Amino acid sequence: MEQIKKQQIINTAMRIFKEKGYFAASMQDIAEACGMAKGSIYKVFPSKEDLFTGVFTFVHRTMFEQARELDRSLRLAGDPPKEILRRKIEFQLQYMLENHFFTSEFKELPITANENFQVEWKKKRAAFLTWHRDCFYEAYGDSISPYLGDIVAIYRGMSREYLSHAVQTAIACPMAELARFCVDRMDAVIRDMIDKEPVPILKVSSAYFNDINPVDLPTRRANLGEFLQYFAQKVQELPQPERIQKELLEVIDLLRRELQQDKPNPTLVRVYTNFLDSVDELRPYVRQLGLMLNHAAEPQKDSPDQA
């Protein structure tokens, strides 16, 4: 009985949130639409944030359940791998378009600071990334293993942008056609990666980080060390006398050693980066390095996963 009541509240809240928006929708509105006393709603969901989180979780759980059912039916039908990929992407685009308020618009809401919501958001994001990785791996096999992080990132960026246009009715393209377009473009990208074998930019795990789920401090510092290696390679390519190149490489090495300290000396770091900034060709690298240093120096914030 309690589960039926909870589901009724979630279904009703979903409709009210869509109609009125997060801020305008009140617990009283939802209670009246349910035909319940407001106190009955609060017994199940202690706050509006908890209720929105419940709707958010339900929407995505339903999507993944339907995705698994689609996967089983496509396997039984024996369709070609690329057609299976297209059908899966079409399903995702259509579902997210119809439920965009709970799959994208929430990012501008204060709900993102709610700890319970963050926990569910991280679960959803991890499930999405795993699903996308599996979709492309099943379509292309081991040949794309080194590039799965980049492939997933490129696809997610593409689909997110086109979905945003679709939600705003800036494009008049059926999701089936958009899915076909995305799959064809991704096929060209993937074939090019397989053919040219570029050095991957992203590890698969890199895609799990973003503003709600920030990169941990050790990973930031490891990435900083890797960037300094790129920096050194750039110095070796400069049309500079060997003496100048040697000085620049020595400064990069001194900077690397300083940044390995538990508490790097900010004055020394500033001196080294200012020296590197004196070379015009290196300034874009120095600016990016400055951003990375600022992030690496930030104290690690507690997250629901660490609580």
Kindly report the average pLDDT of the chain as a whole number: 86
> Domain segments of the chain: what residues?
47-208, 217-297
Amino acid at 204: V
Residue entry with tokens 């390995």: 260
Spatial CA neighbour of 8 closest among 33, 39, 28, 43 = 33
Q: What percent of the chain has pLDDT over 70?
A: 89
Q: 222 or 277, which is more confident?
A: 277
Instruction: Report, in angstroms and rounded to the nearest whole number, the Rg of the chain calculated over CA atoms.
Output: 24
Q: What is the pTM of this model?
A: 0.71
- Joined together, the tokens standing for residue 246 give 């040697």
Per-residue model confidence (pLDDT) at position 217: 66
- Joined together, the tokens standing for residue 27 give 């617990």
Per-residue model confidence (pLDDT) at position 125: 85
Residues 6+ apart with CB under 8 A from 61: none
pLDDT reading at 208 higher than 80: no
Q: For residue 306, name the pLDDT band (cuts at 50, 70, 90).
A: very low
Q: Hey, is 231 helix, strand or coil?
A: helix
Q: Using CA atoms in the order 40, 45, 47, 52, what is the torsion angle rounded to 10 degrees?
A: -120
Q: How many Cα atoms occupy the beta-carbon half-sphere of 80 within 13 Å?
A: 3
Q: For residue 211, name the pLDDT band (cuts at 50, 70, 90).
A: very low
Give the model confidence (pLDDT) of 91-127 as tens digits: 999 999 999 888 876 667 788 788 888 888 888 888 8
Give the model confidence (pLDDT) of 31-54 as tens digits: 999 999 999 999 999 999 999 999
Per-residue model confidence (pLDDT) at position 122: 84
Per-residue model confidence (pLDDT) at position 301: 43
Q: Using CA atoms in the order 130, 51, 108, 118, what is the torsion angle rounded to 10 degrees?
A: -40
CATH of domain 47-208: 1.10.357.10
Three-state DSSP string of 145-162: HHHHHHHHHHHHHHHHHH
CA angle 185, 186, 192 (to 5 degrees): 95
